[in-house]
C-alpha cells in the first residue's frame, strides 16, 4: 500500500511541476535583443539568476523556446519585504524563419546573459560568385 501511495505522490508532484512550467502567467518574459547579421540571427537574453544546469533551449519544428529557472540564495526564516521579481521562471519563444538552420544553434550563458546564434543554412548565406574570363 505504501508503494501505491508513493507512486501517486510522485505522479501528483510530477504533474504539479509540469503545471508550473506550462502556466504561462507564472513565467516572466525576459528582455531580449534580436538582431540579424550576414550569417544568421542572434538573440541576447537577460536571465539573471539562471545557471547552465537550469537553462533549457528547445526547438520544435521552427519554434525555439528558451526557459530558465532562476535561483538566488535564500536562508531559513527569510521574509520578503519588497519584490520586483516575483516568479522563478523565465520563458520566451520565437518562430524562426525557414532559412535558419535550427540544428546548428550555438548558445553561451555568462553572468546571467544568454547569447544565441542561429546560422542561416549554407544555401542562404550571401556568396560572391567568381566570374572567370575565358
Partner 1 sequence: MFEGLWGYEHPLSGQIRRLEEELDSLFGSGASLTGTRNIRSLPAGSFPAVNVASTPEALIVYLFAPGLESKAFDISIQQNLLSISGAREIPLDETATYYRKERFSGDFRRTINLPDDVDPERVDAKYTCGILTIRVGRRESAKPRQIEVR
- Report the Cα–Cα distance between both ends of the chain, in Å, rounded: 86
Give CA separation, 35 vs 42, 43, 45, 64, in Å: 5, 7, 12, 15
**CB-based contact 32:91 (threshold 8 Å):** no
Q: Is 112 in the site for partner 1 (CB under 8 A)?
A: yes
SS3 (DSSP) at 88:
coil
CB closer to partner 1 out of 7 and 51: 51
Q: Is 34 in the site for partner 1 (CB under 8 A)?
A: yes
Q: Is 130 in the site for partner 1 (CB under 8 A)?
A: no
Q: Is 107 in the site for partner 1 (CB under 8 A)?
A: no
DSSP state of 111: T
| Among the residue ranges 12-20, 58-66, 79-87, 100-108, the one whose residues contact partner 1 (CB under 8 A) | 79-87
- Considering only residues 12, 33, 99, 106, which one is a binding residue for partner 1 as defined by CB under 8 A? 33
| Among the residue ranges 4-12, 57-65, 66-74, 123-131, the one whose residues contact partner 1 (CB under 8 A) | 66-74
Q: How many CB atoms lie under 10 A from the CB of residue 41?
A: 20
- The binding site for partner 1 (CB under 8 A) comprises 31-38, 42, 44, 46-51, 71-86, 110-113
Amino acid at each position: 500500500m505504501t508503494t501505491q501511495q508513493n507512486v501517486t505522490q510522485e505522479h501528483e508532484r510530477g504533474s504539479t511541476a509540469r503545471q508550473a512550467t506550462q502556466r504561462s502567467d507564472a513565467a516572466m518574459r525576459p528582455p531580449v535583443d534580436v538582431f540579424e547579421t550576414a550569417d544568421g540571427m542572434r538573440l541576447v537574453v537577460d536571465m539573471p539568476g539562471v545557471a547552465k544546469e537550469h537553462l533549457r533551449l528547445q526547438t520544435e519544428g521552427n519554434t525555439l523556446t528558451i526557459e530558465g529557472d532562476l535561483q538566488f540564495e535564500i536562508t531559513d526564516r527569510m521574509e520578503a519585504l519588497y519584490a520586483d521579481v516575483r516568479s522563478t521562471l523565465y520563458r520566451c519563444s520565437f518562430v524562426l524563419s525557414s532559412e535558419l538552420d535550427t540544428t546548428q544553434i550555438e548558445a553561451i550563458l555568462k553572468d546571467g546573459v544568454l547569447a544565441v546564434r542561429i546560422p542561416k543554412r549554407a544555401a542562404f548565406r550571401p556568396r560572391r560568385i567568381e566570374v572567370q574570363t575565358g
